[in-house]
């Protein structure tokens, strides 16, 4: 919901980030005696400290409102800020502001859900088409669930069960080749319980003997589904993983190992 409280919170968060960055970049010094002083750089067009601070706050406010900028009239926003700072001349009562904020928040949520559904439908269709063609390629195998895989390097060790913890190297990409995760990039294998990952991983890694390297193509239903994951994995995305099974981690070692 977009309201004055959330706007103020976003602004305060931005200011705290700026202040935290400044503290992090400033060497620790002994506390100075006397009152605190404000020392700001020279900035063309901004003469006073008050102007500089005001401009910085305005930039922070604008950055926090990028997602709704198409619904903002800058002149009206300026009037509202002036009324809020002075405590006079507001065109809205607090109750009206809350009503507008709730209605606008619900509208934005519905719009985002529609966007996600539309993007998800496109991705599902693209993934289905890709998998239908990919399954016909030499060396590609398909399980009953629809998981597709190819053996890049055979292994000779044991195979894990869903109850095991494994150590692997892996690289994950979208169908367009965009990499969204890689233990190779971190130069460190990942250790995790097979029961705690996406279904396509749980099923696929159990097919691998230790020492093997497989490529997996994971349908959306066995990956992150219609919700996607964060900014990097869109809704209903079909995923490609290259996976090397390095080790089935012993129980004591698994308890001590950090998960990825």
Task: List, for residues 129-142, the tens digit of each pLDDT value.
Answer: 999 999 999 999 99
| Average of per-residue pLDDT across 66-73 | 93
- 130, part of any domain: no
Catalytic residues: 170, 180-181, 198, 224, 241
- 224, part of any domain: yes
Rounded to 5 degrees, φ, ψ at 80 are -65, -40
What is the CATH number for 252? 3.10.50.40
pLDDT tens sequence across 97-113: 999 999 999 999 999 99
Q: What total number of domains does the chain contain?
A: 1
Q: Two tokens at 235?
A: 């809704």
Own/partner long-range contacts of 71-79 (Cβ < 8 Å, ≥24 apart): 71/104
Q: Is the pTM of this model over 0.85?
A: no
Query: Residue 168 belongs to what domain range?
Result: 141-256
Lowest-pLDDT range, 26-30, 168-172, 225-229? 26-30
């Amino acid at each position: 919901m977009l309201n004055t409280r959330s706007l103020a919170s976003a602004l305060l968060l931005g200011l705290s980030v700026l202040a935290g960055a400044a503290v992090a970049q400033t060497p620790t010094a002994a506390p100075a005696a006397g009152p605190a002083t404000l020392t700001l750089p020279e900035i063309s067009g901004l003469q006073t400290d008050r102007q500089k601070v005001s401009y910085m706050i305005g930039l922070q406010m604008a950055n926090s409102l990028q997602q709704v900028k198409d619904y903002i009239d800058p002149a009206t926003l300026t009037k509202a800020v002036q009324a809020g700072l002075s405590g006079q001349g507001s065109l809205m009562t607090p109750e009206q502001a809350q009503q507008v904020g709730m209605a606008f928040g619900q509208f934005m949520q519905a719009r985002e859900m529609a966007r996600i559904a539309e993007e998800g439908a496109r991705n599902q269709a693209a993934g289905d088409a890709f998998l239908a063609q990919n399954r016909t390629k030499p060396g590609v195998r398909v399980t009953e669930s629809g998981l597709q895989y190819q053996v890049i390097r055979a292994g000779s060790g044991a195979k894990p069960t869903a109850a095991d913890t494994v150590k692997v190297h892996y690289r994950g990409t979208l169908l367009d080749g965009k990499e969204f995760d890689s233990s190779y990039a971190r130069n460190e294998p990942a250790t995790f319980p097979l029961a705690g990952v996406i279904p396509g991983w749980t099923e696929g890694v159990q097919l691998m003997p230790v020492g093997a390297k497989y490529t997996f193509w994971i349908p959306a239903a066995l990956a992150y589904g219609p919700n996607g994951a964060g900014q990097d994995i869109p809704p209903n995305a079909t995923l490609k993983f290259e996976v090397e099974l390095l080790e089935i981690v012993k129980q004591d070692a698994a308890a001590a190992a950090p998960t990825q």
